[in-house]
């Protein structure tokens, strides 16, 4: 049985909050980063690995994640991390059984509207979240485990 304990959108990917706080909170022993660019960047992987202690890491493209995640052993407790909601949609459409998404950080940039202190979206993000919602994926903004989550659909 596939054990995805956390699926998180965080444009920083692995950092202290993900590597320590979230992985410990959910009991993950493996962090899988699904990102086409980082999958081929060993320098960035090494920098992210420096934040991790006692948890294994894997760096896959979106397609590799779709192809390989179902091969995880029963004892692998997975925290799946992506940069964008569009990546989540590709994974879901590719058959990855994601039922709930934790939205941690989507930084503000020109053309985006700030919904919370850590989440900003543009129209493409809004459409993607609506499509994920229609596919039955629960979408919750929650920076850290001690905060109460907030359904993003209520904000967009």
Q: Give me the CATH code for the 4-154 domain, please.
A: 3.40.35.10
Active site positions, annotated: 15
Write out pLDDT tens, residues 81-106.
Answer: 999 999 999 999 999 999 999 999 99
pLDDT band for 20, please (50, 70, 90 cuts): confident
For residue 1, pLDDT beyond 80? no
**Edge-to-edge, what's the strand order for the sheet holding 100-105?**
56-60, 30-34, 78-82, 4-10, 100-105, 138-141, 150-151
Residue whose tokens read 């179902």? 70
Sorted by where each begins, the domain ranges of the chain are 4-154
Report the alpha-carbon distance of residue 70 to residue 141 in Å, rounded. Answer: 26
Tell me what the mean pLDDT of segment 3-32 comes to. 93
pLDDT in tens, 134-148: 999 999 999 999 999
């Amino acid at each position: 049985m596939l054990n995805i304990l956390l699926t998180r959108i965080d444009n920083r990917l692995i950092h202290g909050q993900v590597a320590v706080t979230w992985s410990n909170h959910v009991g993950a022993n493996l962090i899988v980063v699904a990102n086409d660019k980082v999958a081929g960047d060993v320098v960035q992987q090494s920098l992210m690995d420096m934040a991790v202690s006692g948890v294994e890491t894997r760096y896959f493209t979106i397609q590799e994640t779709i192809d390989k995640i179902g091969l995880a052993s029963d004892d692998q407790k997975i925290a799946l991390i992506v940069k964008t909601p569009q990546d989540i949609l590709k994974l879901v459409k590719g058959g990855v059984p994601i039922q709930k998404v934790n939205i941690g950080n989507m930084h503000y940039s020109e053309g985006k509207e700030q919904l919370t202190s850590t989440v900003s979206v543009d129209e493409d993000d809004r459409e993607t979240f609506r499509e994920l919602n229609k596919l039955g994926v629960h979408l919750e903004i929650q920076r850290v485990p001690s905060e109460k989550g907030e359904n993003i659909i209520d904000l967009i």
